[in-house]
Structure 1
Amino acid sequence: MQERKPRQIARELALLSLSQLPVNPKKLEKMEHDRLVPKLVLAAVRTLRSEVQDTLDNAAAELQRSNDRLLSSQTRTNDVETARTMVKEAIEYTQTAINKLGAAVEFPELIQLANQDREVREYARDIILAVNENRNSIDEEISSALVDWQVTRLAHIDRDILRIAVAEMKHLEVPQSVAINEAVELAKRYSEEDSHRFINGVLRRVIEQKKAASTP
């Protein structure tokens, strides 16, 4: 297993915790470290469990649909081809669920590092605070970079990955290339199969728009 750096662990913890924690930054600012870690871990476990269950449910539904289509198709070629496509989609859902289960297997390491490494705890909190304090402006930047889409319609994992990357670039002084690369890795680890390409494209448009806005 590849060794991950403290900030990589912090990003994962922040990503998995973000949707479960209070939006009010003041509550998080006052939270002491001995109270913060258990809350982050509990929120992350809930998110991971929900993500895995949703993906497995989708895979099961796709498999059932493809099985029904195969049984009813008999000799009709079009229905057989459709069923094959549906089976492929079900397999992709299942693979995504397996990937998330793999992340869950590594979760004890994440918990240990969160408890032992001060940098992990503090940077995870810095990310969450930066996102919560600047959510509106961050979402505006993401929205302007989306093509025929809205932030509110994004899968919440993808939305939070984008929010973290923009927050790091804009408020935590993380180099743009680093923020994008880390966001892509998070998407590969926790989102759907092609989400990392989508994440990469959106963040590059965010950068291009910022450059265009600053050019006289």
Structure 2
Amino acid sequence: MNRHEVRKEVFKAVFMNEFHDTDDMEGVISTFLQGRNNAETEDLAKNNKTPEDEEYIKTKSEDIISKLPEIDELINKSVDGWKTTRMAKVDLTLIRLALYEIKYESMPVGVAINEAVSLADEFGTDSSAGFVNGALAKLVQ
């Protein structure tokens, strides 16, 4: 899988956190990955999904979720007029993912923002890309 495809899978796994108890996130992520594998069995060769990809998705998703209190605090302090409790779940997850990549993986700011905006176009509403871009711009000032 290429980096964008892996990031998309991480986004989906972290997004699931919004709908499940965080005490069992390891089990939820494992179930998510197992379900994805079952659904994609015929496409595995096409997707080039390796066991390493799967382990990376799992590890990164769990690490992001473990750091949500710190990430959300940064978001709540920086994005004027918006709190994480008011944001659309897709938008919030993308902002969290990009902020994690910038802060903990030292990803270049432009790359993280461009990836988040791209995923917002794919998974969000018509206004998601602009909102995610604006929120991340505030966060990295």
After TM superposition, is the score higher than 0.5? yes
Aligned to 2:16: 20
How far the C-alpha of 1:17 sits from its partner, in A, is: 2.0
How far the C-alpha of 1:197 sits from its partner, in A, is: 1.0
Give deviations 1:50-105, integer Å, cap 9, x for gaps: xxxxxxxxxxxxxxxxxxxxxxxxxxxxxxxxxxxxxxxxxxxxxxxxxxxxxxxx
Q: TM-score when scaled to structure 1?
A: 0.53
AA of the residue aligned to 1:133: S
What's the Cα RMSD here?
Answer: 2.9
Distance in 1, Cα, partners of 2:33 & 2:11: 10
AA of the residue aligned to 2:9: L
Q: Is the 8 A contact 1:15 1:160 kept in 2?
A: yes
Match of 1:128 among 55, 61, 78: 61
3-state secondary structure, aligned to 2:135: helix
How far the C-alpha of 1:108 sits from its partner, in A, is: 4.2
Q: Is the 8 A contact 1:143 1:151 kept in 2?
A: yes
Aligned to 1:171: 104
Q: TM-score when scaled to structure 2?
A: 0.78
How far the C-alpha of 1:41 sits from its partner, in A, is: 5.5
Q: Is the 8 A contact 1:12 1:186 kept in 2?
A: yes
How far the C-alpha of 1:142 sits from its partner, in A, is: 1.2
3-state secondary structure, aligned to 2:140: helix
User: What are structure 2's unaligned runs of at least 5 residues?
Assistant: none
Aligned to 1:9: 5
AA of the residue aligned to 2:106: E
How far the C-alpha of 1:13 sits from its partner, in A, is: 1.1
Aligned residues: 133
Distance in 2, Cα, partners of 1:162 & 1:206: 9
